[in-house]
Amino acid sequence: MKTKNKSSRIMAFWVIIYCFMVLPAYALPFKIEGSIGVWNHDPNGMINYQGNDVQLNTDLSLKDRNDYNLWLRIEHPIPMLPDIKIQHTPIRVNDSNSPNRPFMFGEKIFDEAINSELEMDIIDVQLYNHLPFLQTASFKGLDVTYGMTFRFLNATAFINEIKSMDSRSRGFSTPMPLLTAGFNIAPLSSFALNGEFQAMSYSGNHWYDITAKLQVSPFSEFIFMGVGYRYQDFKLDDVQDVTADQTMQGFFGEMGFRFE
């Protein structure tokens, strides 16, 4: 079922791209761009649910893996009305191992061979504005944005003891607002360097999300390719009985479209 849902999302994304590609550029009164990519991320840190701190690397042997990433951005000419970017970041890591120490999760002690899985679905709705007059003064070579991201997190941790088939899991969902700022440097129409910083911190919780990316359009002004690095550092303190202090980071590649 997960594979089917993933394929459906990717197919829907490329259908949207095709629909815009068959439209003449002058038919669009706004700028629209989007991308699909693959992020190689390495999970580190801990999670605690009715027990002690369980380390993702040493206790669960969770390692780096590749997950896809989707985003879509729409910018319009209406003054003062914010532009919008929507992004979906699914994260799924799993492995099997024998713990090097006993640990407690969900009021159960695990000390034999286990299967473990950590899943997170992150959906971002970002509303942002541009620093006034900067694009015009730089002939669109420099852009600085600022705004707010509304992040919706859905997460699940699952641990199963292979011999006894006894398992524990915990899922939770929470919304969170993040301040966001970004920049785009484009000395040429076929070359751009951009970055984005999103952050929130309150009551012992924090989430920092930093992305830096190089984009090139070697074949067409409507299609771009990008490579970059994404770093996430977050701490959730007793959110629906779950405490987590983790980082996830790694390189990514993407391919997308742009019309304006």
Mean pLDDT in residue range 113-140 = 91
Question: Phi first, then psi: what are they for 11, rounded to 5°?
Answer: -65, -45
Q: How far apart are CA 195 and CA 181, in angstroms?
A: 9
Q: What's the whole-number mean pLDDT along residues 95-110?
A: 92
Q: In the prediction, which pLDDT does 128 show?
A: 97
Q: What is the mean pLDDT of residues 216-226?
A: 91
Q: What percent of the chain has pLDDT over 90?
A: 70
Query: Pick from 207, 191, 169: which is nearest to 89 by CA?
Result: 207
Residue 201 identity: S
Question: Which whole number is the average pLDDT over 48-52?
Answer: 94
pLDDT band at 13 (very low <50, low <70, confident <90, very high): low
pLDDT: is 79 or 96 the higher one?
Answer: 96
Residue 208 binned pLDDT confidence (cut-offs 50, 70, 90)? very high
Residue 8: per-residue pLDDT: 65
Least confident range from 56-65, 175-184, 191-200, 206-215: namely 56-65
The pLDDT of 63-80, averaged and rounded, is: 91
- Going by the DSSP 8-state scheme, the letter that residue 106 receives in this structure is T
User: What are the distances in angstroms from CA 27 to CA 65, 189, 258?
Assistant: 41, 21, 14
User: Is it the case that residue 25 has pLDDT exceeding 50?
Assistant: no
What mean pLDDT do residues 120-134 have?
A: 94
Q: Tell me the average pLDDT across 202-229.
A: 94
- Rounded to two decimals, the pTM is 0.86
In order of 77, 98, 125, 158, 167, the CA distances from 112 in angstroms are 60, 6, 42, 15, 12
Q: Collect all residues with Cβ–Cβ distance below 8 Å to 67 and sequence separation of at least 6.
A: 38, 39, 41, 89, 90, 91, 92
Dist. CA 256–CA 72, nearest whole Å: 9
Q: Is 39 helix (H, G, I), strand (E, B) or coil?
A: strand
pLDDT in tens, 164-199: 899 999 999 999 999 999 999 998 888 999 999 999
Average pLDDT, the chain: 89
CATH topology of domain 2-259: Porin (2.40.160)
What ranges do the domains of the chain cover? 2-259
